[in-house]
Structure 1
Amino acid sequence: MGYKQGMGSRIFDILNYAFMLALVVVMVYPLLNVISLSLSDPDYIALGEVSWWPKGFNTKGYEIILSKPQLYISYRNTLLYASVGTLLTLLLTSLTAYPLTVADFPLKKFITIFLAITMFFGGGMIPTYLLMKELHLLNTFWIMVIPGSVGAFNVFIYRSFFQNIPSELRESALMDGAGDITILFRIYLPLSKALLATFALFSIVAFWNEWFNALIYLKNESKYPLQMFLRSLIVDDGSASSQYRNLLVNNEVNPKNIVMAAIVIALAPILCIYPFVQKHFVKGAMVGSIKG
């Protein structure tokens, strides 16, 4: 006998679909608007007639952005920050969370309380800057990857996920002569692929969007990430305007063409990565929050 859906359930489904469709439109429209502005004719942009579909066709903004050497330098820096920072974040967070799952670890309670305190209290911007200065990290590669590589909230999620792994696996490995490092890298981490994939994407996106630390701690433009390059365009309302004044005067390009083209180029890698990792979100983020 088949299940007959009631009227209330049907109404709920209809409203749910309508809400999700509206949510998709709200999220997709800004992206389509950015792409449209990057490709539209300057006259239509000036008149404010561009919405979700390009009017005319103009690639001058992309040509200007792609001709800037700083774009490639910033892209290289961001790729390095994101890759090294993500690996460091996953490694250090795993190494911090694993001992907290061991029942006889003597510092378990102290470290847990210490991490919890850091979630509510911080030193502030100036003390943090002075600390980075004393550690000789200012204007270095590591200033972009070490601070914030271990977060208390992430550690607790990792700990909860590890606690869902049967303790018998660790006990069996100990009886076979394995050490805790071997157990972590040969048993726990291979069983935590969903968790690692989820937080790897979170970390990549965070490093990809990072600009504030670069603004405060970096002085050399050769170390600037991609978002600092975008910031210079937006703050200057199209930094290429002075260099390409003739194009602007002749109405061959609009400053928004340049800015939006840069945003599209910066977004492309994240948009390509996201669909492949998105499937791990529910399992990786929610399963670890069930216990602990």
Structure 2
Amino acid sequence: MAIKKSTGDRVFDICNILFMCLIMVIMLYPMLNVLAISLSSSAKVTQGVITFYPQELNFEGYKYILKQGQFYTGFRNSVIYAALSTIFTLLFTSLAAYSLAIKDFVFKKAFTIFLTITMFIGGGMIPTYLLYRDLHMINTLWVMTVPGCVSAYTVFVFRTFFQGLPGDLRESAFIDGANDLYICFKITLPLSKPLLATYALFTIVGSWNSWFNALLYLQDEARYPIQMFLRKMVVDGNISSMYQGTEIAAMLANGAVNPRNMQMAVIILTMFPILCIYPFVQKYFVKGVMIGAIKG
């Protein structure tokens, strides 16, 4: 039997819908504006009349960005960094969390205290840099992938999920001769797909958007991620000097393409891979983000 809503409930629902529509517009408009500028003609961009739809459709910004070797180098580096960061994060976090989820783990209390301390006390920027230097990690692949692959908060979330799995599964596996490593990889992790998919997405997005670590620890431009190329074009904004003596510099000089066309185009191209990944993990996302709220 349907429950009849009161006038107050209807007003509340309408206000909620209007508020959510407002939030949607606030979030979508900047993205639509960036997309519209990237696809509009140089003249219209210079006039500043672009809102949320392109005017005088023009792909010159994308054309010249996709000609740049730096873009492909940064894209390749970001894919490698994101893939390795995700693998390391899920692997090491799962092993640590599984150990804490076992009731008879000997050092469980000490390990938990140690992880908790790391949530409140950090090493600081300079000591961290000196540590990476002494470990010969500066300007290497590993400085972008290994540090930060284990987060105390993530370990505790994983532990909470593992503790919610039936304990009889582990006992039955032990009776059949399995060890903890086998149980972790063959039983626990396959039952944790929503958790793994959610935190894989978090790690990929975090790694893909990371530029500050590259600024601090990478010296070779050939190792820069895509975000450093984006920063160079958008934040520095000196596109003419970047491409001095090239075809792009000539196009910028005669007004065939506007610097903002190229800046907005590289923003869209940088966002596109993440937008493609999300639909594949969407079915796990809601369940995954609710894990920490269901059981603490």
TM-score normalised according to structure 1 size: 0.96
Structure 1: 5+ residue runs without aligned partners? none
Give runs of aligned pairs for residues 7-86 of structure 1, distance below 5 A: 7-86=7-86
- Counterparts of 1:167 and 1:291, CA distance in 2: 16
- Counterparts of 1:109 and 1:285, CA distance in 2: 26
Q: CA RMSD in A?
A: 1.3
Name the stretch that deviates more: 247-256 or 192-201: 247-256
Which secondary structure does the structure 2 equivalent of 1:51 belong to? Answer: coil
> Paired residue for 1:259?
263
> Paired residue for 1:163?
163
Q: Is the 8 A contact 2:39 2:54 kept in 1?
A: yes
- Counterparts of 2:151 and 2:253, CA distance in 1: 50
> Paired residue for 1:217?
217
Name the stretch that deviates more: 246-255 or 116-125: 246-255
Name the stretch that deviates more: 261-270 or 166-175: 166-175
- Aligned residue pairs total 292
Compute the displacement of 1:62 (Å). Answer: 0.9
Q: Which amino acid aligns with 2:123?
A: G
Q: Which amino acid aligns with 1:212?
A: F
- Counterparts of 1:141 and 1:22, CA distance in 2: 43
> Paired residue for 2:102?
102
> Paired residue for 1:194?
194
Which secondary structure does the structure 1 equivalent of 2:191 belong to? Answer: helix
> Paired residue for 1:277?
281
Q: Is the 8 A contact 2:36 2:52 kept in 1?
A: yes
- Counterparts of 1:277 and 1:11, CA distance in 2: 35
Identity %: 53
Compute the displacement of 1:238 (Å). Answer: 4.8
- The one-character-per-residue Cα deviations of 1:3-56 (angstroms, maximum 9, x if unpaired) are 222222222221111111111111111110111111112222222111111111
Q: Which amino acid aligns with 1:177?
A: G
Name the stretch that deviates more: 194-203 or 57-66: 57-66
Which secondary structure does the structure 2 equivalent of 1:149 belong to? Answer: coil
Q: Which amino acid aligns with 1:148?
A: G
Compute the displacement of 1:290 (Å). Answer: 2.3
Q: Which amino acid aligns with 1:282?
A: V
- Counterparts of 1:246 and 1:238, CA distance in 2: 14
> Paired residue for 2:88?
88
Name the stretch that deviates more: 279-288 or 81-90: 279-288
Compute the displacement of 1:275 (Å). Answer: 2.1
Q: Which amino acid aligns with 2:156?
A: F
Compute the displacement of 1:241 (Å). Answer: 5.5
Q: Which amino acid aligns with 1:189?
A: L
Q: Is the 8 A contact 1:36 1:50 kept in 2?
A: yes
